Amino acid sequence: MTEQRRAERLDLPREPRGLKLPRVDQETFGRWAEGIARGMGTANFIVYMTLVITAWFLWNTLAPAGLRFDPYTFTFLTLVLSIQASYAAPLILLAQNRQADRDRVALDEDRRRATMQKADTEYLAREIAALRIALGEVATRDFVRSELSRLAEELDEAAQRRQRLERRHRDDPVRTGGDGLDEPRDELDGDSPGDGRHDTASTRRPES
């Protein structure tokens, strides 16, 4: 009665019916299947299988009739080979599926690493571009060398100008008036046009 009421309720899961098959560890069985598939895919398996079949043929053909366990048409051998083929195909497919799963995981990992490497490469490219831009604004060795050369030339010219002024002061101390060391003689004479310091006595017209 209780089981009938429980079966009528829709909020409770139904108990599974039928035969309960034993559970198999998929990982252990998969490794075992891969081992068999690898063994069957070697040259040693083919050679050993060929030797066994040849011995089977020779024994059941040349041996005395009372000792032959599988006479001609070799029905038992055909049955054995059929069983072997029926088990070999699923084992090989299982091994291939496991290998495909591993390849898929490896492909996903390679794709993830490729994405990370691409991001790192783009970041490094941006950093290198920023460094190039920053280095473009920094004085280079050639620029500093040219500026130092120009400054040295200006200093030499200033030293030569001062030596000329000193020599002119020694030669004509009256005209320089003791101030010849500060500026050139041309500027002191006031003879250059446009300086506004012409002699008014010489340029003034006589009054009528």
User: Is 132 inside a domain boundary?
Assistant: no
CA distance to 4, 7, 8, 10, 184, per residue, from 13 (Å): 14, 9, 11, 7, 114
Task: Please report whether residue 13 resides in a domain.
Answer: no
Q: Are residues 31 and 101 in the same domain?
A: yes
Give the residue numbers spanning the domain of 104: 25-112
Say yes or no: 103 and 176 in one domain: no
Three-state secondary structure call for residue 100: helix
Whether the predicted pLDDT of 27 surpasses 50:
yes
Residue 204 has pLDDT above 80, yes or no: no
**pLDDT score recorded for residue 115:** 95
Whether 121 maps to a domain, the answer reads no
Q: Which residue has the higher pLDDT, 25 or 202?
A: 25
User: Is there a domain that residue 12 lies in?
Assistant: no
* 59, part of any domain: yes
Same domain, 108 and 152: no
| Residue 14: inside a domain | no
Confidence of residue 3 (pLDDT cuts 50, 70, 90): low
Task: Note the pLDDT tens digit of each residue in 37-55.
Answer: 899 889 999 999 999 999 9
Give the rounded percent of residues in the chain with a pLDDT score beyond 70: 74
CB 42 within 8 A of CB 106: no
CA distance 73 to 61: 10
196 falls in which pLDDT band (50, 70, 90)? Answer: very low
Taking each helix axis from N to C terminus, what angle separates 26-40 and 75-136, rounded to the nearest 10 degrees? 100
Q: How many domains does the chain have?
A: 2
pTM over 0.95: no
> Is there a single domain that holds both residue 101 and residue 42?
yes
